Structure 1
Amino acid sequence: MSDQSHSQETDVTAKAGVTIGGAPVAYTAILAALVAVLAFIPASVVVGGMGGGWPFWDVITPAVGLLLGPIAGPIAAAIGVVVGGVVAPYTNLGPWGFLIGAMAAFTVAMTLMPRRSMWYVPWVITATLNVIYWFQAEAYGIGFGLWWSNVFTVHIALILIAIPQVRNWAIAQIRTGGMGAKTFSAFAVVFFFGSTAGIQANWVPAFATNPWPAEVWPALVVIILVERVVFTLVGALIAMALVTALRRSNMAKADMAGY
């Protein structure tokens, strides 16, 4: 065996032993730790919930999927959320909170996969959960109008990402663009899909295990819309800066990273 062949075999073996879905284990651990640390920072309020504040990790979990891909991204996000809920209980969103981070990361990563039809997987999951959520609400005496007023933010994201011209433009801009308004807008489109998919993934099991009363729903209308929009914009700004910095650095890129 030549030295070159031996070197290639060693590289492949080493890489296989230290990666998760093509992302170095070190990257996964670092981002999971970052998610956990951000649990200490309340980003919003919890209405009708058990926590004292909504955790700031909800802002950056879409970026975790962008950086790590559809396997390591959700794993890092979920681990970070679970650990964060233990170390910062005042922003703990309950036993299903990890689904917000995991689904947001998964959605963004799948949308940015080279095979552009992969966005359809989180889209179908989110749409299905949205319908299930309606049956849950209806069974609990929540009318269609009130239900729709709470989930129309999710519907906007589902419609927006399903438009080929919008989706393809956003993907191309993220992959090739630098710092600027166009790239920021592209990140916002994809992250909005991820953010709303994450919150929808949490709603179904959370409502099934701890349904919130009808009087809480009207207050959620504005909060949901404002949270998802603001979280998306802040997360897009952070992601754009991170990607720009990473492209200028010597750090290895995860195999299934979306940028």
Structure 2
Amino acid sequence: MTADAPQPRSLVTTGGVSIGGAPVSYTAILAALVAVLAFIPASIVVGGMGGGWPLHDVIHPLLGLLLGPIAGPIASVVGIVIGNVIAPYTNLGPWSPLMGAMSAFAVGMVMYPKRSLWYVPWIITLAANLIYLWQSLSFGIGFWLWLSNVFTVDVALILIAIPQIRNWAIDQIRNGAASLSLYGAYFVVFFFGSTAGIQLNWVPSFATNPWPAEVWPPLVFIIFAERVVFTAVGALVAFALIAAIRRSPIAKAKLAGY
């Protein structure tokens, strides 16, 4: 623990209702935040009839860090479901809760207290990646076009699987003082969570509503830009928010990763 980093506080429940080590109130507040952010379009949806990509995609990895791998995904799913109803113009379809749930779950497992269970979401994401390849080839999408679209996901898979990078990021988030290195650590972990979520969402979405080959080329840049920008914004929010929480009387959820 560095001299500048305050000692973390663990949440001790005394009869209160909790979900996965996090108070229901924490989960409800963050689910409500997800729902509110559904009102704000953050990007475009190719072929989406003028719809927009919801801004809440930015914060799903943060929910996994704040609440852990159980309550985090639950808050994401509840928030997305509510957001799909109240803000239909950013509704990404029936499979969209998978995106938020997987993003939060991936970060929660990477940052699991006292150990790292990164390989669980990593294996799930890799399996979804390969299933997506089979789906693409079966639909007549060539290997290289598929690879160009999953390139961002594959980069994240490689980064988080490198022990030196992963362990450095985990240590910085748990013990590091405010610095550019800490921001970079948030980015690495959140980048994995963000891309894992989008990859898991692609598989059932493509199975139920496959998009033709002519739509794929524009997605190459859009996917890369979205994941990088969304991750960068989410990491910035985490950088400020976690620093504030550590200096406040707010107790940390039992399975929180920071």
Q: What TM-score do the two structures reach when normalised by structure 1?
A: 0.93
Tell me, in whole angstroms, the C-alpha distance in 1 between the residues paired with 2:48 and 2:91: 10
Runs of 4+ displaced beyond 4 Å:
none
2:65/2:111 contact within 8 Å kept:
yes
Residue number in structure 1 paired with 2:193: 194
Residue number in structure 2 paired with 1:40: 39
- The one-letter code sitting in structure 1 at the alignment partner of 2:215 is V
CA offset digits 1:200-226 (Å, max 9, x no partner): 010000000111111100010000000
1:170/1:190 contact within 8 Å kept:
yes
Residue number in structure 1 paired with 2:223: 224
CA offset digits 1:135-165 (Å, max 9, x no partner): 0011100000000000010000000000000
Q: Greater RCO between the two (CA within 8 Å, min separation 6)?
A: 2
Residue number in structure 2 paired with 1:14: 15
1:179/1:241 contact within 8 Å kept:
no
What runs of 5+ residues in structure 1 fail to find an aligned partner?
A: 1-10
Q: Which has the larger radius of gyration?
A: 1
1:128-143 alignment, distance < 5 Å: 128-143=127-142
Residue number in structure 2 paired with 1:53: 52
Aligned residues: 247
Residue number in structure 2 paired with 1:105: 104
Tell me, in whole angstroms, the C-alpha distance in 2 between the residues paired with 1:83 and 1:59: 17
Q: 1:50 Cα deviation (Å)?
A: 5.3
Q: Which secondary structure does the structure 1 equivalent of 2:250 belong to?
A: coil
Tell me, in whole angstroms, the C-alpha distance in 2 between the residues paired with 1:60 and 1:205: 22
Residue number in structure 2 paired with 1:212: 211
1:22-37 alignment, distance < 5 Å: 22-37=21-36
Residue number in structure 1 paired with 2:7: none
The percentage of counterpart residues that share the same residue type is 70
Q: What TM-score do the two structures reach when normalised by structure 2?
A: 0.93
Change (3 A) 1:138 1:236: same
CA offset digits 1:80-128 (Å, max 9, x no partner): 0110011000000000011111100000000001353410000000000
The answer to whether 1:166 aligns with 2:165 is yes
Looking at secondary structure, tell me which structure has more helix per residue: 1
1:50/1:93 contact within 8 Å kept:
no
1:39/1:85 contact within 8 Å kept:
yes
Change (3 A) 1:12 1:44: closer
Tell me, in whole angstroms, the C-alpha distance in 2 between the residues paired with 1:152 and 1:250: 42
Q: Which secondary structure does the structure 1 equivalent of 2:95 belong to?
A: coil
CA offset digits 1:166-205 (Å, max 9, x no partner): 0000000001123221100000000000000000010000
1:28/1:72 contact within 8 Å kept:
yes
- The one-letter code sitting in structure 1 at the alignment partner of 2:27 is T
CA offset digits 1:30-56 (Å, max 9, x no partner): 000000000001110001235610000
1:103/1:201 contact within 8 Å kept:
yes
- The one-letter code sitting in structure 2 at the alignment partner of 1:39 is A
1:51/1:92 contact within 8 Å kept:
no
